[in-house]
Amino acid sequence: MRQLSAKPRLLVGQLWQESHSFNPLPTTAADFTVERGGALVAANRNAGSALGGILRAGEAAGVEWLPAIAARARPGGPVEEEVFAELLEAFLAVEAPDAVCLDLHGAMLSGKRADCEGDLLTALRAKLGPDVVIAAALDLHAQVTPAMVAAADILIAYKTNPHADMVETGAKAFALLQEVMDGRLRPLRSLARLPFLTRGNDETDGGPLAELQGEARALCDARAELRDISICNVNPFVDVPEAGQTVLVTTDGDATTAEEIAERLARRLWDLRDDFVQELPSMDLALTRVRDAPEQRPFVLGDQGDRVLAGAPGDATALARLLLRSFPELRVALPLYDPDAVRNCGAAGLGEEVTLTLGGGITPGQTALQVTGRVLRLGDGRFLHSGSYMTGVPVDLGATAVLQVGKLSLLLTTKAPFVQDPAAYESHGLRLSDLDAVVAKSGNHFKLAFAGQARPLVVDTPGLSRFRPSDFPFSRARPIHPLDPIDLSALPIQTFGGSV
Ligand SMILES: [Zn+2]
């Protein structure tokens, strides 16, 4: 181990975008919110993210930051390769860190790459050599690859879905990094991979994952050498080779335990593979419930099929169409991606009536909606998450317009509507207390963000983020369950370690 300066200098950064292979819109530079230098630390120190957790733990420990870049975009199509190349460059430009601690999503693709985070970690390892400790926090929906585990000494993922432990995961990544730097931990990592995609029922407070995560927690509590077990349920819309579920076990120098636990939990996860299915109410059933249960309002409806939080475009019109046609009495606010419509509302001006054709141009099977409404508000689409998911993290929806069509308030956006927090509405003058329901472009995390403010109800809407693998033209991820027969008599487990 090399001699450290009195105050260790840590390369810190964040790369957060979850890619959807079948969203035809690439993620561009304009989709990213970026901070560098001192601004990175100032903007994220109090954020409810893994980066916030890393920064607060590191400052308590008295480290000096070498900020690389924090770049966040809403989930969506693969990132343009030249955009990723620039981000990569920003991480590699930091000279001579004593260690590296990153907040990564773990399921980013570019136009050319199937494993952006693996490429980033591998490039950092190649540049910094074997002695610089590298740690990263990951999303529970990461596609964890052997390249990532080989290059990073510490890789740990959130344990909860919805993700309530982002800050804690960042703090733990930093704490384990510090132990490795101090020579108190020799991290051996065993990675087991399972070729299957979940089809729902994937929250961690119930269903198969509650049991599995509980078992992992109990094992870690009982055995001191077991430092972390991260069970990742890959975002089910990545079409890359060897996509699937992963179990990553980190021990203190104990390869036998790491392999044994990885194998045991992976076998259990495989046995549960057909429990990850979910029945959701139809749009008609859900809206009927909103209409017939006024005492339960306001509702927040999870738009399962067009979840921007799972990489869908946010332009699906089915729910808005049904509201206008069959539930015109309901006061509902609903986000819709349509940059042209925002420009047209702006050109018409506040308070003016406009007739527009909206949405439906990107999501297969969706058609545009013809409406006449009044422009209620024009905005810049910027706000901070106020709920307990991503608390304090800034969002930029691009220019926005609120178009009132009867009792339906359409929140039109020029960037995909990353809308799963009350602040998306409140910042546009749409108060929950005045509405029967609002729509979130999310299936799980919105429940955290709206807790205590609105009743969550996830709805089976059409679109690109339904959990139906057979709806998508998967080619690179094959063979994969449930699309193909899989023989798992030999479970692939790889063990990494000893680089420090
Ligand atoms: Zn996630």
Q: How far is the CA of 460 from the centre of ligand 1 (A)?
A: 20
d(CA 186, CA 380): 49
Helices (H) and strands (E) in the chain, counts: 13, 20
Q: State the angle between helix axes of 116-128 and 81-92 in degrees (0 to 180), rounded to the nearest 10.
A: 30
What's the pLDDT at 5? 56
Asked whether residue 245 falls in the same domain as residue 125, the answer is yes
Q: Stretch 116-127: mean pLDDT, rounded? A: 98
Q: How far is the CA of 75 from the centre of ligand 1 (A)?
A: 10
**Is 104 a residue whose pLDDT tops 70?**
yes
Domain range for residue 165? 9-276+490-496
Count the domains in the chain.
2
Query: pLDDT averaged over the chain?
Result: 96
Per-residue confidence at 499, pLDDT binned at 50, 70, 90? very low
What's the pLDDT at 492? 85
Q: Output the pTM of the full model.
A: 0.95
The H or E element that residue 320 is part of is: helix 318-326
Establish if 479 belongs to a structural domain: no
Distance in Å from the first CA to the final CA of the chain? 7
Q: How far is the CA of 163 from the centre of ligand 1 (A)?
A: 7
**Cross-sheet strand order for the sheet of 408-413:** 353-358, 369-379, 400-405, 408-413, 332-337, 437-440, 299-303, 455-459
**Cross-sheet strand order for the sheet of 245-252:** 226-232, 245-252, 187-194, 493-496
d(CA 340, CA 356): 10
Q: Which two tokens stand for residue 439?
A: 């729509």
Establish if 485 belongs to a structural domain: no
What's the pLDDT at 323? 98
d(CA 481, CA 488): 11
User: Do 223 and 216 contact (CB within 8 A), yes or no?
Assistant: no
Q: How far is the CA of 141 from the centre of ligand 1 (A)?
A: 4
Q: How far is the CA of 329 from the centre of ligand 1 (A)?
A: 35
Q: How far is the CA of 445 from the centre of ligand 1 (A)?
A: 9
Q: State the angle between helix axes of 318-326 and 283-292 in degrees (0 to 180), rounded to the nearest 10.
A: 50
What's the pLDDT at 12? 98
d(CA 331, CA 323): 9
Neighbour count for residue 218 (Cβ, 10 Å): 10
Asked whether residue 187 falls in the same domain as residue 108, the answer is yes
User: Residue 120 corresponds to which amino acid?
Assistant: L
What's the pLDDT at 6? 77
Asked whether residue 339 falls in the same domain as residue 237, the answer is no
Establish if 421 belongs to a structural domain: yes
Q: How far is the CA of 100 from the centre of ligand 1 (A)?
A: 22
**Is 219 a residue whose pLDDT tops 70?**
yes
Asked whether residue 66 falls in the same domain as residue 160, the answer is yes
Asked whether residue 240 falls in the same domain as residue 333, the answer is no
Q: Stretch 198-213: mean pLDDT, rounded? A: 95
Asked whether residue 271 falls in the same domain as residue 289, the answer is no
Q: Stretch 439-468: mean pLDDT, rounded? A: 96
Phi then psi for residue 73, to 5 deg, are -135, 150
Least confident among 242-246, 415-419, 489-493: 489-493
Asked whether residue 339 falls in the same domain as residue 251, the answer is no
**Is 179 a residue whose pLDDT tops 90?**
yes
Q: Stretch 318-332: mean pLDDT, rounded? A: 98
Asked whether residue 387 falls in the same domain as residue 248, the answer is no
Surface-to-core class of residue 96, CB atoms within 10 Å of its CB (0-12 exposed, 13-18 middle, 19+ buried): exposed
What's the pLDDT at 3? 52
Q: How far is the CA of 140 from the centre of ligand 1 (A)?
A: 5
With CA atoms as reference, report the closest residue to 153 among 116, 182, 197, 121: 121
Q: How far is the CA of 27 from the centre of ligand 1 (A)?
A: 18
Q: Stretch 108-134: mean pLDDT, rounded? A: 97
User: Do 12 and 67 contact (CB within 8 A), yes or no?
Assistant: yes
Strand pairing partners for 136? 102, 155
Establish if 484 belongs to a structural domain: no
What's the pLDDT at 490? 87
Kindly report, residue by residue over 236-282, the tens digit of the pLDDT.
999 999 999 999 999 999 999 999 999 999 999 999 999 999 999 99
Q: How far is the CA of 385 from the centre of ligand 1 (A)?
A: 16
Asked whether residue 337 falls in the same domain as residue 417, the answer is yes
What's the pLDDT at 498? 57
Q: HEC profile for 348-360?
A: HCCCCEEEEEECC
Establish if 204 belongs to a structural domain: yes
d(CA 253, CA 256): 9
Establish if 475 belongs to a structural domain: no
Establish if 483 belongs to a structural domain: no
